[in-house]
Amino acid sequence: MSSHQVLAGFHAVTARLRHAPATLKELYVEASRRDKRMQAFIQQAQAAGVRVHPVAAERLDGLAHGLRHQGVVGLAEAQALAVDVDEVLDLLEDRSDPALLLVLDGVTDPHNLGACLRTADAAGVHAVLAPRDRAVGLNATVQRVACGAAQTVPYIMVTNLARTLRRLKERGIWLVGTDDQAAQGLYDVDARRPMAWVMGAEGEGMRRLTSELCDQRVTIPMLGSVESLNVSVASAVCLYEAVRQRR
């Protein structure tokens, strides 16, 4: 089981059933649950050709490794998504949509990453990028918080973020970083062009070189007493400004 990816909860497992049911190797449900939601879920799994194992709640607790599983745990193979920035951009060249990327510089909390992935999926982001040495991987907590988005949005961890940002610029991607000291505001961005929002970690913000590589730096309006937003909330604010402009 150690080579499998653990998916806990209805959202994460249902998303995998919809998008890549063949990668679900084992599916366990709480034997004592017979409510309508569980019955509908079991029917969906069986229709997808996935065998369902009813087990005791204690067995599910062990499989989920402390995650809230709602009576559902799946063991799956990692889904194959784009693993390279150029692969993502090459695919976009055949489509009319301008690229929309999210770069996370230093986000190490799995709850924040999961929330960022969920927002990225909702906003139609084509890929989320992060430096390999300053980011959390797609662990079970990320999978749960992302509610299935980890199966639909490529999460690309790169060895050298600065080199990757330069590559994006070469490919015509406009880099916009958030910086509470910036002279321009969020609404000064032309988000209809191919672009990437670049977000730093809470407290520290973007690293110096990351900030210098941005084509534009903007601040998010803060009208109350708090100084900054959680990175997942800040990502949502920025991504949905792009959604608004592109509509």
Task: Extract the annotated binding site for S-adenosyl-L-methionine.
Answer: 200, 220, 229
DSSP code for 8:
E
Cα distances (Å, whole numbers) of residue 176 to 10, 63, 162, 247: 35, 41, 14, 20
Strand partners, 216: 176
* Distance linking the first and last C-alpha atoms of the chain: 44
For residue 94, the one-letter residue type is D
Q: Which residues are annotated as a binding site?
A: 200, 220, 229
How far is the C-alpha of 126 from the C-alpha of 99, rounded, in Å?
7
How far is the C-alpha of 177 from the C-alpha of 112, rounded, in Å?
18
Cα distances (Å, whole numbers) of residue 165 to 27, 92, 121, 157, 191: 40, 17, 21, 13, 17
